[in-house]
Each structure stands twice: as C-alpha cells, then as structure tokens.
C-alpha cells in the first residue's frame, strides 16, 4: 500500500503489515549482498541502534517497535539510488531495476565496446577494499573515504549473458559545518570498467553523478593508484575536481578496524594519523581543488 513518508515514524511503522515488514528484512539482505553495505551503515542511515537492526536482520526480533520500522521504511523508500523501489512492493521477487540497469549498461558495452576480458580484469585484479584520499574542498583539510570494488558474486549465473559490469560503493564521512561533533555520511554506488589502461568509475548520490578515474598500475602487485575525481560538494552541490590516490588494503578487510581513518582531517592531524601521509601528499601534489567558478 501507499504510505505517506511525512507521517511520524511510529505511525508509519504501525501501518506496515507483516508481509511488508518481511520485505524490509529482505531488503536489508539485498543491500548487503548487492551494494556491499554493512548493518552499521544502515543503522547510521536510518538513525537507529546497530543492535536493533542486527537483531531484525538475523530474525532475533520478529517485529521490532514501530518507531524503528518507520525509520527503516522511510530510509529505504527515500534512497531509490541504493534500493530499487519494487523491493518494497508486492513485486519484490520480480526482475528489479538493477537488472534493467544491467540491460542499459549492456547497450553501453555494445557501443564502447567493452570486451569480456576487460570486465574479468577488473574482477580478478582490482576487487577489494581501498582508502580513497583527496584534498577536501574545505581549505586545509584532507578527505579519506572507503572504497569497495565488489568481487564477482559466486551466485551469479553467467550462462545467460556473460560478465556483468563490476560495481563499487564509496563511503564518505564528513562533519556538519555548524556542529563538527555531528558526523554525516553518504554512500556512492556505481559501476567500474577498464579501458586503455584506465579504470573508470561512474556513480551517483541522490541523482548527482560522481566520476573518478584511476591509472592502472604496471604490475598486478601494487599498493597505490593515482587519478582524478569530479564530484560535487555536500555543502552547496558546487562541482569540483581534484587529484586522488587510492591505497589498496586487500580483499578481506574489516572496516571497523579502519573507522577512525575515514573522514575529513586537518592537515596536521592527517600527517600524524597516517604513516604514509608523505607519500599521499606528494602524489596529490599542490594543485589543490578546482571549482566550477574558478576562472581558469
């Protein structure tokens, strides 16, 4: 049924039937498998306790309180870039928009064209976790994000159309301008391809495109990649471009161990917190951040 998201959280939760509550639970599983999100990310997104969403996801809680259910429903329904809308409807088991997206990208693959070997190269060589360094558009700050280039799912049926486009998620934390102690975050999902010794990442957040490109390293054994990104600021949506450096962490890394290394840091704090600060700083150079309003 149609639910008005402007209603109070508890009211929205009370309107959810048992079947709709179960679809919320299934949506959590879909996001974890297809978007690489963790329960902590979802708890932060819907402003709920992590243990509450964990108990719900693992069926330790059949039906949590209506306030939590309302928050979770509003968050999932309002993030159509992460979760296809039909995952919350009665047609949740029908082919969803992620498969339609693959169809659109299949057309792109035909136009480029992208060879199967190029897709396999991304999965085999670059899947894993990275720290994503760039200069912040906030003066005197360094931004460190968490990049996950998802591996090929072992459940994927390749007999019906070959390899899909590799997917990624980029997790970013930043302080609120008014209250620095109130952290905010967002997640950029998207697709990655390789062509002519470049890795191209195309993602979006709230409908705003996020692009970045990395130069492939000459060897399969590497730690760093360099490139450039074209983003828009979280404060005023002003587009900006800047250099970036990605540090490979490996295929099996727990983000909890790196949580205090994700965010926006004053340069002095960045230099103390990261042993490789001099390497990253030299690679980023002194070019700073280029804004749309810059004259050159």
pLDDT digits (tens, 9 = 90+) for 214-251: 999 998 899 999 999 998 877 777 788 899 999 999 99
Same domain, 74 and 147: no
Positive or negative CA dihedral for 191, 72, 48, 50?
negative
Average pLDDT of the chain is: 81
pLDDT of residue 243: 94
Please tell me whether residues 52 and 113 are part of one structural domain: no
81 shares its domain with 186: no
Q: Mean pLDDT across the stretch 77-92?
A: 66
Q: What pLDDT shows up at residue 111? A: 52
Q: Please report whether residue 284 resides in a domain.
A: yes
Q: Hey, which of 21-30, 112-121, 181-190, 276-285 has the most confident mean pLDDT?
A: 276-285
Residue 104 pLDDT exceeds 50: no
Give pLDDT, residue 160.
Answer: 62
Q: Which residues of 181-207 are buried (b: 16+ CB within 10 A; e: fewer)?
A: eeeebbbbbbbbbbeeeebbbbbebee
Is there a single domain that holds both residue 46 and residue 151? no
**Entry pTM:** 0.66
pLDDT at 105: 47
Q: Are residues 88 and 139 in the same domain?
A: no
Is residue 4 a part of any domain in this protein? no
Q: What is the CATH number of the domain that holds 254?
A: 2.40.128.120
What's residue 41's pLDDT? Answer: 81
Judgement on whether residues 140 and 26 belong to the same structural domain of the protein: no
How confident is the model at residue 77, as a pLDDT? 82
**pLDDT tens-digit readout, 117-167:** 888 899 999 999 999 999 998 888 999 999 999 998 777 776 666 778 888
The predicted structure's pLDDT at residue 95: 41
Q: Please say which residue of 26, 59, 94 terminates a domain.
A: 94
Q: How confident is the model at residue 81 (pLDDT cuts 50, 70, 90)?
A: low
More confident residue, 175 or 189: 189
Please name the residues in contact with 183: beta carbons below 8 A apart, sequence gap of 6 or more.
173, 174, 175, 176, 263
| Cα three-residue angle 53-58-61, rounded to 5 degrees | 65
Residue 199 or 85, more confident: 199
Q: Is 231 exposed, middle or buried (0-12, 13-18, 19+ CB in 10 A)?
A: buried
Whether residue 178 sits in one domain with residue 80: no
Domain match, 90 and 102 both: no
Domain interval for residue 125: 98-291
How far is the C-alpha of 149 from the C-alpha of 187, rounded, in Å?
A: 13
Q: Give the chain's domain count.
A: 2
What's the average model confidence in pLDDT over 190-200? 89
209 versus 188: the higher-pLDDT residue is: 188
Residue after which a domain boundary falls, among 94, 124, 153: 94
Structure-model confidence comparison of residues 238 and 72, the more confident one: 72
Q: What is the pLDDT of residue 94?
A: 42
Would you say residue 290 has pLDDT above 80?
A: no
Amino acid 291: pLDDT = 64
Contact 163, 254 (CB under 8 A): no
**Most confidently predicted of 61-65, 79-83, 271-275:** 271-275
Which pair of tokens denotes residue 168? Answer: 């990624």
Paired with 203 in beta bridges are 190, 210
Per-residue pLDDT for 106 more than 50?
no
The pLDDT value given to residue 216: 95
Helix (H) or strand (E) holding 97: helix 97-111
Instruction: Using the predicted structure, report yes or no on whether residue 12 has a pLDDT greater than 90.
Output: no
Task: Indicate if 275 and 202 belong to the same structural domain.
Answer: yes
- CA–CA dist 129, 273 (Å, integer): 19
């Amino acid at each position: 049924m149609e639910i008005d998201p402007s209603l109070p959280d508890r009211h929205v939760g009370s309107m959810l039937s048992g079947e709709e509550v179960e679809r919320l639970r299934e949506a959590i599983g879909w996001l974890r498998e297809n978007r690489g999100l963790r329960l902590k990310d979802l708890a932060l997104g819907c402003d709920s306790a992590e243990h509450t969403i964990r108990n719900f996801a693992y069926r330790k809680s059949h039906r949590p309180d209506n306030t939590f259910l309302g928050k979770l429903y509003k968050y999932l329904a309002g993030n159509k870039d992460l979760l296809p809308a039909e995952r919350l409807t009665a047609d949740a088991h029908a082919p969803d928009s992620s498969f339609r997206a693959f169809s659109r990208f299949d057309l792109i693959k035909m136009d480029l064209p992208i060879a199967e070997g190029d897709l396999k190269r991304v999965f085999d060589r670059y899947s894993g976790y990275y720290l994503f360094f760039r200069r912040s558009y906030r003066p005197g700050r360094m931004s460190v994000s968490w990049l996950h280039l998802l591996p090929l799912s072992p459940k994927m049926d390749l007999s019906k159309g070959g390899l899909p486009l590799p997917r990624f998620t980029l997790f970013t934390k930043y302080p609120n301008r008014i209250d620095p102690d109130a952290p905010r975050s967002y997640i950029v999902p998207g697709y990655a391809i390789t062509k002519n010794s470049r890795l191209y990442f195309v993602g979006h957040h709230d409908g705003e495109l996020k692009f970045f490109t990395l130069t492939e390293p000459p060897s399969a054994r590497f730690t760093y990649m360099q490139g450039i990104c074209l983003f828009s600021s979280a404060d005023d949506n002003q587009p900006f471009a800047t250099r970036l450096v990605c540090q490979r962490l490996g295929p099996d890394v727990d983000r909890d161990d790196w949580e205090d290394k994700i965010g926006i840091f004053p340069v002095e704090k960045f230099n103390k917190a990261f042993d490789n600060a001099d390497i990253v700083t030299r690679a980023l150079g002194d070019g700073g951040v280029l804004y749309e309003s810059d004259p050159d």
